Amino acid sequence: MREQNFKKKALRLCIFPLGFIFGFAAGNLHHDIVEMTHNIKTSIVETDTRGSVRDSLVNKAPEDAEHKIAREIREIEAQKEQLTNEIEGLYDETSEQRFQLNAFDTAMRELDNAKDFNAAQLSARLDMNAPNGREKFGDIFRSDMKLSSTGYNLHVNPTASGERVRPGIIAVDKSVIPLHSYVYFPELNMMTVALDTGSAINGYDADFYIKDTTQNLYNNWGRHNLTAQVVDMDKVEEIRNSLQLSNEKIDSLTKQIDSLEAEQTKKYKLLDDNIELRVSTPSFATPKSFKEPPPIVDKVK
């Protein structure tokens, strides 16, 4: 019995130190694990904070400036588009008048530069189905009428208007068509000017000056009833002044667009400089207040 009690006591004495040893080791292991976890968390927090500050220092200010410049560029582009639309609107509103006035000016240049023609050449121009002058020149005529047209070849200078005879001149009854009036004949597609009169010209008659023989005048031209449209030069001048005002407005709008483009070019240059500055700045700069996180040492072996 005594021997058994002794063995039990001896066994307790052996187990107690082992339990103490294992308990101490387990406590140290728990402490090491807690410390390791804390270090990892601290490292993550410090890394995130460093990245945030880096982004703030390196990227935030330039990005704000870039966004502002880009917004200003877009605003300028919107202004340019609005002005461009106004210019296009003005052209659309006046396109028909521009075309008609250009056609009238062309006809007037042809009259000024007209060369001598004979009766056969004038007859070859005749087209009884030609469109009315209003389709070509617009509403620039004071009156339309039918004239009995003939030809004359007498070189009587000066004419009743005091000017010398030349191609494109017609003789009229000045009580019907005032002298110096421009008269368009649609069937001939020809602009003329009334600068002469004649004893045989009464009422609704018109005599074309044709450089040809009298016989050819009768044989190749004879007499034709033609539409005559008398130009109202006041209307022409009114259209010309209206287009001039439109052109001045277009010029003003164009200058505004040019100014905006110059400003936009400067904005683009400033934006490029900002981007270049941001790109050339180091992508990571560690502030002095930061310390590298301590290395993680695995104490568990």
Measured CA to CA, the distance from residue 102 to residue 107 in angstroms comes to 9
Torsion 98-102-105-107 (CA) sign: negative
pLDDT in tens, the chain (301 residues): 545 554 455 445 454 454 544 444 445 545 554 565 555 455 544 445 544 443 443 344 445 778 888 889 999 999 999 999 999 999 999 999 999 999 999 999 999 999 999 999 999 999 989 999 999 999 999 999 999 999 998 766 788 999 889 999 999 999 999 999 999 999 999 999 999 998 889 999 999 999 999 999 999 999 999 999 999 999 999 999 999 999 999 999 999 999 999 999 998 988 888 877 777 766 544 445 444 455 555 555 4
- Tokens linked to 189: 């597609």
Q: CA-to-CA distance for 145 and 194, rounded, in angstroms?
A: 15
Looking at residue 57, its pLDDT comes to 38
Please tell me the distance from the alpha carbon of residue 223 to that of residue 193, in angstroms, as a whole number. 19
Alpha carbon distance 210, 9 (integer Å): 157
Report the pLDDT value the prediction gives residue 64, as an integer from 0 to 100.
73
The region that residue 293 occupies, defined by phi over 0 for left and psi between -120 and 50 for alpha, beta otherwise, is beta
Predicted confidence at residue 12, as pLDDT, reads 53
**Quick one: CATH architecture of 114-241?**
Beta Barrel (2.40)
Instruction: State the Cα–Cα distance between residues 24 and 220, nearest whole angstrom.
Output: 138
Q: What is the pLDDT of residue 141?
A: 95
DSSP structural state of residue 55: I
Check residue 281 and give its pLDDT: 64
Neighbour tally for 169: CB within 10 Å: 21
Name the E strands within 173-274: 182-185, 190-196, 205-209, 224-231
Q: What local confidence, expressed as pLDDT, does residue 83 receive?
A: 96
Q: Has this prediction a pTM greater than 0.85?
A: no
Q: Find all residues with CB under 8 Å of 123, minimum gap 6, and list them.
A: 220, 221
Residue 112 confidence (pLDDT): 94
pLDDT of residue 276: 79
